[in-house]
Amino acid sequence: MSRAKSVEVVVLGTGFGGLTFCQAFRHPEARITLVDRTNHHLFQPLLYQVATAGLSAPEIAAPARSVFAHRPDVTVLMADVEGIDLSRREVRLRDGVLSYDYLVMALGGVTSYFGHPEWEQFAPGLKTLDDAMRIRRDVLMAFEEAETTTDESRRSELLTLAVIGGGPTGVEMAGALAELARRVLAKDFRRMNPASTRVVLIEGSPRVLSHLPADLGDSAARQLRDLGVEVLTGRRVLEVRAGEVHLDDGTTIRAANILWAAGVAASPLTRQLGVPLDRAGRVVVEPDLSLPGHPRVFAIGDMALVLDAQARPVPGVCPAAMQMARHVARLVRDELEARHGVPVRRTPFRYWDKGSMATIGRSAAVAKMGALELSGLPAWFAWLFVHLLFLIGYRNKVAVLWQWAYSYLAYKRGARIILGREEG
């Protein structure tokens, strides 16, 4: 008797959505091909700590092949996805084509500059390890140049750090930069005082962390100001140039480092699919997370526009992507079982909001978990626990816990080596 043809499941993206689907889905007749342009799973919520020298890159990433080394049914490919042909059920790679029976798209998002892509060269975003390493190098190089320059005007620019965007990434980045300058580097330099560093957080809406209750957003702003961060709310960015941010109130901020944390858009691949998209390029999926007209193709995570029970968009956070991944894994598994006579009816995805949190600095954070609202040290411990829980791999958990303990007790950060310096 000939062996039945295996069911080919292609998963795009090694982020929380793609990784969780592969971990949750098993079927004796299915083979999974996991594709990503990098060779690792990245714990994005801690990218800002790599960018601010709190952690090193390997501590928040795990090689995808090692994660699935014990799963012979999972093949990992490091490849660029160039297109998707829904009618032919094919994924076009730079070096080949993959045919699929089921496709799970979890490619995440990219930094959005709201129609001003030219700003990217002056204000890098934070989405990848390469982004984090570039930001860390540029920030540390600014301190080194400030130590050697005799031009006070230039020194002032070098010691000014502007962060655009008052969401979780911007708040966490601004707080970490302030701590780096005022507490970690304070005794390391002789010709200039790192504590004089100016960290400016710019947010267009009336308050930071606008997705949280007003009292928590206000608490976050107070904790940032306690660290020395200038919090500018209700200010829109009109222009970003080399070393300059121009605001709608006429203010110009001159800063050697300008960091963008203001917007996210879906992967550009969504625009090739020929299906309904929202303004951010996210796929408007069916209630079961499949693409309209393509029941065997799913979009999850930052690529998908999904509405919760109150008809509000599900936030682009890792718990949401993981819940979507587990939902799709159940659907596909149930449908494969149905081939053997077990009836199945697809259930709509239901999002369980586990809360939101943001860290600001040492013992400073805000968190909302259901009806519970926390601020300060209790929120910081809750944030630490949750992030350790989601880290992939025992080694990563131990390494990050050690670095956090070291940084907390000694006000030191060990990942302050400058790499990739451009010679010229």
Residue 357 lies in a domain: no
* Domain C-terminal end among 308, 338, 368: 338
Residue 371 lies in a domain: no
Residue 71 lies in a domain: no
Structure-model confidence comparison of residues 335 and 421, the more confident one: 335
- Taking the CA atoms of 211, 213, 218 and 223 in sequence, report the sign of the dihedral they define: negative
| pLDDT band at residue 367 under the 50/70/90 scheme | confident
pLDDT at position 394 over 50 = no
CA-CA distance, 267 to 279, in Å (whole number)? 12
pLDDT at position 2 over 50 = no
**253 and 196 within one domain:** yes
**134 and 181 within one domain:** yes
373 is an active site residue: no
**How high is the pLDDT of residue 342?**
59
Contact 70, 194 (CB under 8 A): no
**179 and 84 within one domain:** no
| pLDDT band at residue 254 under the 50/70/90 scheme | very high
Domain that holds residue 172: 117-262
Q: With 0.85 as the threshold, say if the pTM is over it.
A: yes
pLDDT at position 333 over 60 = yes
**How high is the pLDDT of residue 379?**
86
Alpha-carbon distance values, 408 to 93, 199, 359 (Å): 45, 21, 13
CA-CA distance, 211 to 225, in Å (whole number)? 20
Task: List all residues 6 or more positions away from 399 whose beta carbon is below 8 Å from its beta carbon.
Answer: 58, 59
**237 and 125 within one domain:** yes
| pLDDT band at residue 358 under the 50/70/90 scheme | confident
**225 and 202 within one domain:** yes
Residue 47 lies in a domain: no
Strand runs labelled E in 193-234: 198-203, 229-233
**271 and 197 within one domain:** no
Residue 186 lies in a domain: yes
Per-residue pLDDT tens for 167-205?
A: 999 999 999 999 999 988 988 899 999 999 999 999 999
**240 and 152 within one domain:** yes
**209 and 184 within one domain:** yes
CA-CA distance, 356 to 365, in Å (whole number)? 11
CA-CA distance, 219 to 207, in Å (whole number)? 10
**138 and 166 within one domain:** yes
**253 and 147 within one domain:** yes
Residue 245 lies in a domain: yes
**189 and 245 within one domain:** yes
**How high is the pLDDT of residue 424?**
39
What is the number of structural domains in the chain?
A: 2
Per-residue pLDDT tens for 71-110?
A: 999 999 999 999 999 999 999 999 899 999 999 999 999 9
| Range in 46-50, 128-132, 241-245, 300-304 the model is least confident about | 46-50
pLDDT at position 19 over 50 = yes
Contact 122, 255 (CB under 8 A): no
Residue 177 lies in a domain: yes
- Taking the CA atoms of 293, 94, 131 and 65 in sequence, report the sign of the dihedral they define: positive
**How high is the pLDDT of residue 386?**
76
* Domain C-terminal end among 338, 357, 391: 338
Tokens of 359: 């860290």
**256 and 293 within one domain:** no
- Which class for 96: exposed (0-12), middle (13-18), buried (19 or more C-beta within 10 A)? exposed
pLDDT at position 412 over 70 = no
Domain harbouring 104, CATH code: 3.50.50.60
| Range in 92-96, 379-383, 413-417, 420-424 the model is least confident about | 420-424
CA-CA distance, 94 to 219, in Å (whole number)? 48
Active-site choice (157, 172, 203, 286): 172
* Domain C-terminal end among 208, 240, 262: 262
Residue 274 lies in a domain: yes
